[in-house]
């Protein structure tokens, strides 16, 4: 299930990257903002570049979720922080709620899904526990054999 969530995150981030990077003027229309000046177009394009990096990260984590768990945590933090930014924007009445509410719902659902299906140790945890048990058994066997050698040596010195 985590792969499906990561695929959705990848697609959404790549789509957002395209909108922010290639067509920054549409962002003003989507969020019902005044037309962007050159500085805001530049900043919007930077956000688009960041979204593309997050999209590529989601694609990498899609390929091997257990290996790239740190990327999943990064994606979780990104989605949750954007959700918090939307809450702040709504509380300040900087944007209409009809423009912000759909993305808030998306970011909250994705954050929850990334937490819910975060890849834990699973089989690797079982293998690690078995390996630790085997190592502790070998350590105990080595101690027992050393103790038996010491007791034989002490018996030999007592006889002398």
pTM over 0.75: no
Are 66 and 35 in contact, with CB atoms under 8 Å apart?
A: no
Across the chain, how many H-helices and E-strands are there?
Answer: 6, 0
Which of 32-36, 39-43, 81-85, 112-116 bottoms out in mean pLDDT, i.e. has the lowest?
32-36
Q: For 118-160, what is each residue's pLDDT tens digit?
A: 988 665 556 666 777 777 777 777 677 776 666 666 665 555 5
pLDDT reading at 109 higher than 90: yes
Q: How far is CA 137 from CA 14, 72, 130, in A?
A: 51, 36, 10
| C-beta contacts of 59-66 below 8 A and 24+ residues apart | 59/6, 59/10, 61/6, 62/3, 62/6, 62/7, 62/10, 65/2, 65/3, 65/6, 65/119, 66/119, 66/122, 66/124
Percent of the chain with pLDDT over 90: 55
């Amino acid at each position: 299930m985590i792969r499906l969530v990561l695929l959705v995150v990848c697609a959404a981030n790549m789509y957002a990257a395209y909108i922010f990077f290639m067509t920054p003027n549409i962002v003003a229309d989507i969020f019902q903002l005044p037309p962007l000046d050159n500085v805001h177009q530049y900043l919007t394009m930077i956000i688009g570049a960041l979204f593309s990096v997050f999209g590529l990260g989601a694609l990498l984590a899609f390929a091997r979720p257990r290996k790239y768990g740190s990327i999943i945590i990064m994606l979780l933090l990104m989605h949750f922080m954007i959700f918090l930014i939307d809450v702040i924007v709504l509380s300040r009445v900087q944007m209409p709620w009809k423009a912000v509410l759909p993305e808030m719902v998306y970011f909250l659902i994705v954050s929850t899904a990334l937490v819910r299906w975060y890849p834990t140790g699973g089989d690797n945890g079982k293998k690690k526990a078995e390996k630790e048990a085997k190592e502790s058994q070998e350590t105990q066997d080595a101690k027992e054999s050393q103790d038996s050698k010491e007791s034989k040596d002490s018996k030999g010195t007592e006889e002398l």
